[in-house]
Amino acid sequence: MEYEVLLKKPTVFYDKYPRKDGNKNVTHYCPGCGHGVVHKYIAEALEKLGVQDRTIIVSPVGCSVFAYYYFDTGNIQAAHGRAPAVATGVKRARPESIVISYQGDGDLAAIGTAEIVHAANRGENITVFFVNNAIYGMTGGQMAPTTLEGQKTSTSPTGRNPLNEGYPICVSELLSTLKAPIYIERVSLHDAKNRVKARKAIYKALKCQTERKGFTFVEILAQCPTNWKVTPDDSLGWIRDKMLPVFELGVKVDRTEEAQTSSYPKSIWDTASILKQLDLENVEIKARADRSRLLPAHRNPRIKIAGFGGQGVLTLGILLAGCGMLEDYNVAWLPSYGPEMRGGTAHCHISINDAPIGSPLVSSSTVCIAMNKPSQVKFEKELIPGGLLIRNSSMIDIPSSRSDIEILSVPATELATQAGSLKVQNMVILGAYLERTKLIDMKTVMMALQSMLKKASLLELNQKAIDAGRNYVRSNT
Amino acid sequence: MAKELVKGNVAIVKGAILAGCEVYFGYPITPASEIAEYASLYFPKVGRTFIQAESEVAAINMVYGAAGAGARCMTASSGPGLSLKQEGISYCAGAELPCVIADIMRGGPGLGNIGPEQSDYNQIVKGGGHGNYRVIVLAPNSGQEMCDLTIKAFDLADKWRIPVVVLTDGYTGQMMEQVDFPQNTAIPVRKPWGLYADAESRSNLITSIFLSHADLEKHNIHLQKKYTRIETEEVMVEKLYCDDAELVIVAYGISSRISRTAVEMARSQNLKIGLLRPLTLFPFPKNDILEAAKTAKVFLSVECSNGQLIDDIRLTLMGKRPVELYNRMGGEVPTSEEILGAIKRILKA
């Protein structure tokens, strides 16, 4: 007999369900469950939009955990509540995909609250279908965040009491306060007229995604006769009479007309461009500078620099390490990090060595640079006998307690002020240190400074301060 | 040559991009924040994606999604963040998704502090989430290795379809050293199981569910076989003076750097001390430790934790040699002099 097929299974569904145990012709959903209808509307919409191949559906934890049994699309299963984060990951990795996060009320409105709010707030170009049946289905009928006042569940046996458990959450309204979502609508499955609206809303949300317009969200009030303990017939009336007064139907947000189409990032894969963008173009490493000019005591220094925050302690350390690298030493710079960076005192450890550096922690130093009094008191003890203490005599009014070390006193604060700024005390000290030890060639210092400082005026100021330190050592020792 | 003086955390970001990492999902936490900061700077410059997630939990689940879509992807954090990520890492392990996670360890438990510690050893090396799984754990101790082992992490992750953790401490993350960056870059290779949003990959399914007990046992056995192969094939270790050492220090990360200086000091005093440094904490270098036990009379675990690494050394030696502990905690790190003191106490030298 020939006949015209008017109603058929959408091609986006598997014909049979090969991933499912047992009967491959029927779904695992209970009789009268709303999920099957929602699945069908999604499958129809995907077919109509012609996007089956590029669709990836995120199955959540809950009754729809096995959505991948039915949808002949790309499928990924997510941890409880995390579907919008997983969907974000998929979409960002494959911007051309059509990503659906399909979630129930426990998953989305309880354990996954953060993920849904932030995916919506970022305006992720994904579609979320939120099936609200006011109960945890898969785990056997426990209270959900959307459970109605007075509704009896296995964890609210005497009925949900707002004084103890709060009120049902209206997620669509909650998300409507955000600026990014372009389309939020709540629909219901309780009668034919509303199912038509639900089908249209689902199609519209997915269509917007194909147009790369932004975040779309459809909340579907659906029946759970099993856990509501009513017949499938009565479950439709249950939605109408009990849910509708709490969860108002309708479009909550529609910015689909004005929404702009987003573009995909254009990834760069050629090596030369990548290296350029990463600032990894060639760096000139000077041939090993002649180390013989250094006195043995000044070779391979282990330096501790300390002072108040703002005295340029960490910067001085980085500059020294950077210069060392340019002269083909092994270098390590280790800061005291954290709250110290935001005021208070700071110190850092610097090692500059011909050999690979073992401990980057300078526990016994060969050089100690103390920019203030507490630093001298604290760190001069660590100097090895014969080590070099450089003290900022502008800010230290006590002598060193050590008699077995070399001491260089430099009024760095004063000289820096004369040079033009308090901020270059560290450069005065650098000039003094290098004048005394010849550790680094001045040309190297200028090269390193040039790469650190973009402004010519700053470069000049720093150079002036370095010279002041050098001159002070020359004329006072 | 592209030598640069950079923080270890920055070397991770540049290494990741050179390794072809396409997406980064992060959340700020000291002392790992530079990784997210520099990722937010550099990823967009090469047309790749950086997302600051709403939480550590979201970040690792975004990684799960991107990895499922076949992309090279990563996240980074520190102890408290890793505790939160464990759920997602378990899912990645179960679904066999390759991804890279950097853990720049800080002081704990609880909020602890931001100082360097190595107290995530157990939660990372033993598989801190639920289920029978392992992750590969790489342990860099220098700026250079922060780059090199991050690149290696992406390769291992893809090779074995497994999450790889780059595990190090706040000091190795915050420290600046010269790093010689490789001058070549990797281009992503299509993974047959990935979700590429096309006809060819449409039938692919990423999941960790196996409803039937028999199927899940089979999956677990498959995973354990994979871990056994990894233990055979992927061990990396650095040995210093182990050939004739009477005492061998076992240490990783910052502890191994400090120990190295202690070993040099000891050798200069004619003490026969060696250093065995695991670069892989899983797989653990069991054979190398047993080899060292041929000359070593005693082992010393140096760690910034409460005796976590020492358990694996003891399990390896099975009582054949005594294993001593020298440790600091709470953000304190041992000095080379302290370690030398411990060596001398043990050897009664």
pLDDT tens digit sequence for B90-100: 999 999 999 99
The proportion of chain B whose per-residue pLDDT surpasses 70, expressed as a percent, equals: 100
Instruction: Compute the average pLDDT of residues A279-285.
Output: 75
The proportion of chain A whose per-residue pLDDT surpasses 90, expressed as a percent, equals: 89
What stretch of H or E contains A11? none
Q: What local confidence, expressed as pLDDT, does residue B76 receive?
A: 98
Q: What local confidence, expressed as pLDDT, does residue A281 receive?
A: 80
- Which of A55, A59, A114 faces B58 most closely, judged by CB atoms? A114
> How does the average pLDDT of chain B come out, rounded?
97
| Contact criterion met (CB below 8 Å) for B165 and B30 | no
Instruction: Compute the average pLDDT of residues B184-194.
Output: 96
Q: What local confidence, expressed as pLDDT, does residue A5 receive?
A: 75
Instruction: Indicate whether A190 and A240 sit together in one domain.
Output: yes
Question: Which amino acid is located at B259 in the chain?
Answer: S
Tell whether the model's pLDDT for residue B295 goes beyond 60: yes
Q: Is there a contact between A21 and B195 if contact means CB atoms under 8 Å apart? A: no
CA distance A456 to A467: 17
* Tens digit of each residue's pLDDT (9 = 90 or more) over B234-292: 999 999 999 999 999 999 999 999 999 999 999 999 999 999 999 999 999 999 999 99
**Residue A13 DSSP label:** B
* Tens digit of each residue's pLDDT (9 = 90 or more) over B19-45: 999 999 999 999 999 999 999 999 999
As given in the structure block, the two tokens for residue B114 are: 């931001």
Token pair 């820096």 is found at A416
Interface test with B, best of A103, A125, A278 (most B CBs within 10 A): A278
What would you report as the CA-atom Rg of chain B, rounded to the nearest whole angstrom?
Answer: 20
As given in the structure block, the two tokens for residue A165 are: 């458990």
User: What CATH number does residue A348 fall under?
Assistant: 3.40.920.10
pTM above 0.90? yes
Chain A residue with minimal CA distance to B338?
A363
Three-state DSSP string of A120-145: HHHCCCCEEEEEECCCECCCCCECCC
The CA dihedral of B138, B144, B147, B148, to the nearest 10 degrees, is -60
Q: What local confidence, expressed as pLDDT, does residue B86 receive?
A: 98
- Asked whether the domain spanning B238-347 has the same topology as the one spanning B3-233, the reply is yes
Q: Is there a cis peptide before residue B109, judged by omega within 30 degrees of 0?
A: yes
CB-based contact, B334 to chain A, within 8 Å: no
Token pair 């720093």 is found at A462
**Residue B114 DSSP label:** E
For chains A and B, CB pairs below 8 A equal 252
Which residues of chain A are within 8 Å of residue B67 when distances are taken between CB atoms? Answer: 89
Interface test with B, best of A15, A17, A54, A76 (most B CBs within 10 A): A76
Tell whether the model's pLDDT for residue A102 goes beyond 90: yes
pLDDT band at A340 (very low <50, low <70, confident <90, very high): very low
As given in the structure block, the two tokens for residue A122 are: 């970022």
**Residue B201 DSSP label:** G
> How does the average pLDDT of chain A come out, rounded?
94
Instruction: Indicate whether A299 and A383 sit together in one domain.
Output: yes
Instruction: Indicate whether A248 and A300 sit together in one domain.
Output: no
Instruction: Tell which of A254, A281, A303 closes a domain.
Output: A254
Which stretch of A330-339, A415-424, A463-472 has the lowest confidence by average pLDDT?
A330-339
Token pair 């240190």 is found at A433
- Which of A325, A337, A359 faces B257 most closely, judged by CB atoms? A359
pLDDT band at A287 (very low <50, low <70, confident <90, very high): low
Instruction: Indicate whether A385 and A328 sit together in one domain.
Output: yes
Tell whether the model's pLDDT for residue B71 goes beyond 80: yes
Instruction: Indicate whether A345 and A471 sit together in one domain.
Output: yes
Question: At A199, phi and psi to the nearest 5?
Answer: -60, -40
Q: What local confidence, expressed as pLDDT, does residue A55 receive?
A: 98
CA distance A173 to A167: 14
Q: For residue A12, how many other CB atoms are within 10 A of its CB?
A: 23
CB-based contact, A98 to chain B, within 8 Å: yes
Tell whether the model's pLDDT for residue A92 goes beyond 80: yes
Instruction: Tell which of A230, A254, A278 closes a domain.
Output: A254
Instruction: Indicate whether A236 and A187 sit together in one domain.
Output: yes
Where are chain B's structural domains? 3-233, 238-347
What stretch of H or E contains A305? strand A302-308
Residues contacting A292, CB < 8 A, separation 6+: none
Domain B3-233 grouped into CATH 3.40.50.970: yes
Q: What is the DSSP string of A357-426?
A: PS--S-SSEEEEEESSHHHHHHHGGGEEEEEEEEEETTT--S--S-SSSEEEEE-HHHHHHHHT-GGGHH
As given in the structure block, the two tokens for residue B93 are: 């392990």
| Contact criterion met (CB below 8 Å) for B188 and B20 | yes
Instruction: Indicate whether A374 and A467 sit together in one domain.
Output: yes
pLDDT band at A120 (very low <50, low <70, confident <90, very high): very high
As given in the structure block, the two tokens for residue B142 are: 């220098």
CA distance A122 to A311: 41
Instruction: Compute the average pLDDT of residues A188-197.
Output: 98
Q: How far is B319 from chain A (nearest CA, A)?
A: 31
Q: What is the DSSP string of A235-300?
A: HHHHIIIIITTTS--EEEEE-TTTPPPP--------HHHHHHHTT-S--PPPP---GGGS-GGGSS
Hey, CA dihedral for B91, B96, B100, B102, is it positive or negative? Answer: positive
* Tens digit of each residue's pLDDT (9 = 90 or more) over A390-430: 999 999 999 999 999 999 999 999 999 999 999 999 999 99
> Residue A347, by phi and psi: left (phi above 0), alpha (psi -120 to 50) or beta?
beta
Instruction: Indicate whether A75 and A207 sit together in one domain.
Output: yes
> Residue B307, by phi and psi: left (phi above 0), alpha (psi -120 to 50) or beta?
left
Question: Which amino acid is located at B254 in the chain?
Answer: I
Instruction: Tell which of A254, A278, A301 closes a domain.
Output: A254
Chain A residue with minimal CA distance to B3?
A283
**Structurally, what CATH architecture does the domain formed by B238-347 represent?**
3-Layer(aba) Sandwich (3.40)
* Tens digit of each residue's pLDDT (9 = 90 or more) over A134-181: 999 999 999 999 999 999 999 999 999 999 999 999 999 999 999 999
Which stretch of A7-16, A134-143, A177-186, A347-356 has the lowest confidence by average pLDDT?
A7-16
User: What CATH number does residue A79 fall under?
Assistant: 3.40.50.970
Strand partners, B158: none
Instruction: Indicate whether A403 and A469 sit together in one domain.
Output: yes
Chain B residue with minimal CA distance to A75?
B205
CB-based contact, A355 to chain B, within 8 Å: no
Interface test with B, best of A46, A122, A337, A449 (most B CBs within 10 A): A337
Q: Is there a contact between A88 and B199 if contact means CB atoms under 8 Å apart? A: no
Token pair 């800010």 is found at A395
**Residue A108 DSSP label:** I
Which regions of A82-233 does DSSP assign to beta strands (E)? 98-104, 127-132, 183-188, 216-221
Hey, CA dihedral for B332, B336, B340, B341, is it positive or negative? Answer: negative
Q: Is there a contact between B64 and A89 if contact means CB atoms under 8 Å apart? A: yes
CA distance B247 to B340: 12
Q: What local confidence, expressed as pLDDT, does residue A286 receive?
A: 66
How many independent structural domains does chain A possess? 2
Which range of residues forms the domain containing residue A168?
Answer: 35-254
Hey, CA dihedral for B187, B190, B195, B199, is it positive or negative? Answer: positive
Q: Tell me whether residue A283 is in a domain.
A: no
Q: Tell me whether residue A43 is in a domain.
A: yes
C-alpha closest to that of B121 among B286, B302, B346: B302
Q: What local confidence, expressed as pLDDT, does residue A336 receive?
A: 86
Instruction: Indicate whether A337 and A241 sit together in one domain.
Output: no
CA distance B172 to B7: 8
Instruction: Indicate whether A312 and A414 sit together in one domain.
Output: yes
Tell whether the model's pLDDT for residue A1 goes beyond 70: no
pLDDT band at A283 (very low <50, low <70, confident <90, very high): low
Strand partners, B280: B138
Instruction: Indicate whether A245 and A296 sit together in one domain.
Output: no
CB-based contact, B2 to chain A, within 8 Å: yes
Instruction: Compute the average pLDDT of residues B81-93.
Output: 98
- Angle of helix A313-326 versus helix A425-437 axis, rounded to 10: 40
Q: Is there a contact between A89 and B73 if contact means CB atoms under 8 Å apart? A: yes
For residue B192, the SS3 value is coil
Q: What local confidence, expressed as pLDDT, does residue A477 receive?
A: 76
CA distance A369 to A350: 11
CB-based contact, B202 to chain A, within 8 Å: yes
CA distance A201 to A217: 9
- Which of B71, B202, B333 faces A361 most closely, judged by CB atoms? B333
Sheet containing strand B273-278, edge to edge, reads: B237-240, B273-278, B247-250, B298-303, B323-327
Distance separating the N- and C-terminal Cα atoms of chain A: 114
* Tens digit of each residue's pLDDT (9 = 90 or more) over B111-130: 999 999 999 999 999 989 99
Chain A residue with minimal CA distance to B180?
A280
Q: Is there a contact between A55 and B197 if contact means CB atoms under 8 Å apart? A: yes
Tell whether the model's pLDDT for residue B139 goes beyond 60: yes
What stretch of H or E contains A455? none
